[in-house]
Amino acid sequence: MLAQADPNDAQAKRDLSILYNRLGDVHLKLGATDKAMQAYQKGLGLSEALAQADPNDAQAKRDLSVSYNKLGEVHLQLGATDKALQAYQKSLGLRQALAQADPNDAQAKRDLSISYNRLGDVHLKLGATDKALQAYQKGLGLSEALAQADPNDAQAKRDLSVSYEKLGDVHLQLGATDKALQAYQKSLVLSEALPRPTPTTPRRSATCPSLTRSSATCTCNWVRPTRPSRPTRSPWC
């Protein structure tokens, strides 16, 4: 194994962490949550070591945030919502720092909006609707800014549609049906305006433009279905 052949090879360690994460993704898809947890924890250990070795490495921080998200996902599937919340909060902290370090980095903003939405999902599951609303609103603000910055970016519009839908969900739980309706209508308008995937055009992930790069680690994301319903998250994060 390359990482064993040269323990100081940072790229080899990063590649290995990505492989552990992908192995975890497959185990999770197969329902083997315990094996997924083991794989994600190994990937997390490598990501933590790389981030500690070079605190100024933005890519290492982003990879670590992805590892925390993956750990949060498997905790959520195991019903350990408190542990999932802790993992998502750690990911959020890293992504906040990355977005602050480079305010012009659209990917950092997108990652941060996803983290806010993930945090909102957990708060909603825990019954903390007010906290969920706050998180979704922060995610929405970032999604709106990205969509406004590039009106031709279909991915940004798709992300914004998801944010409005999540906002509608929490308004519905709070009994604010008028606000929920407004949010769902905005989500629907955006969703209907998006180009539909064809059999010859692979569907793009809503939040991971780098998924096709062999060395890339994707962030947690959704894939918008062809009808306006709750999006299904990609198994890659």
Query: pLDDT tens digit string along 95-127?
Result: 999 999 999 999 999 999 999 999 999 999 999
Q: Cα–Cα distance between 133 and 211 in angstroms, integer?
A: 30
Q: What is the pLDDT of residue 207?
A: 40
Integer CA distances (angstroms), 60 to 163, 205, 218, in order: 27, 22, 13
Residue 237: pLDDT above 50? no
How long, in residues, is the chain?
A: 237
CATH architecture classification, 1-103 = Alpha Horseshoe (1.25)
Q: What is the pLDDT of residue 232?
A: 42
In this prediction, residues 213-229 reach a mean pLDDT of 41
Written as six digits, the tokens of 203 are 């569907």
Beta bridge partners of 233: 222
Residues 94 and 68 sit within 8 Å (Cβ to Cβ): yes
Percent of the chain exceeding pLDDT 70 equals: 80
Q: What is the pLDDT of residue 161?
A: 96
In this prediction, residues 9-31 reach a mean pLDDT of 93
Q: Phi and psi dihedrals of 112, rounded to 5?
A: -65, -40
pLDDT band at 51 (very low <50, low <70, confident <90, very high): very high
Residue 228: pLDDT above 80? no
Mean of pLDDT over the chain = 85
pLDDT band at 235 (very low <50, low <70, confident <90, very high): very low
Q: Where are the domains of the chain?
A: 1-103, 116-194+215-237
Q: Cα–Cα distance between 7 and 102 in angstroms, integer?
A: 31
Residues 206 and 224 sit within 8 Å (Cβ to Cβ): yes
Q: What is the pLDDT of residue 4?
A: 57
Q: What is the pLDDT of residue 223?
A: 39
pLDDT band at 5 (very low <50, low <70, confident <90, very high): low
Query: pLDDT tens digit string along 160-210?
Result: 999 999 999 999 999 999 999 999 999 999 999 888 766 555 544 444 433
Neighbours of 145 (CB within 10 A): 14
Question: Per-residue DSSP letters for the chain?
Answer: -HHHH-TT-HHHHHHHHHHHHHHHHHHHHTT-HHHHHHHHHHHHHHHHHHHHH-TT-HHHHHHHHHHHHHHHHHHHHTT-HHHHHHHHHHHHHHHHHHHHH-TT-HHHHHHHHHHHHHHHHHHHHTT-HHHHHHHHHHHHHHHHHHHHH-TT-HHHHHHHHHHHHHHHHHHHHTT-HHHHHHHHHHHHHHHHHSPPP-TTSPPPPSS-TTTTSTT--PPS-EE--SSSSPPEEPTT-
Residue, of 153 and 225, whose pLDDT is higher: 153
In this prediction, residues 127-144 reach a mean pLDDT of 96
Residue 151: pLDDT above 70? yes
Q: Cα–Cα distance between 185 and 168 in angstroms, integer?
A: 9
Q: What is the pLDDT of residue 93?
A: 97
Percent of the chain exceeding pLDDT 90 equals: 76
Same fold across 1-103 and 116-194+215-237 = yes
116-194+215-237 topology per CATH = 1.25.40
* The CA-based dihedral angle spanning residues 91, 212, 109, 185, taken in that order and rounded to the nearest 10 degrees: -100
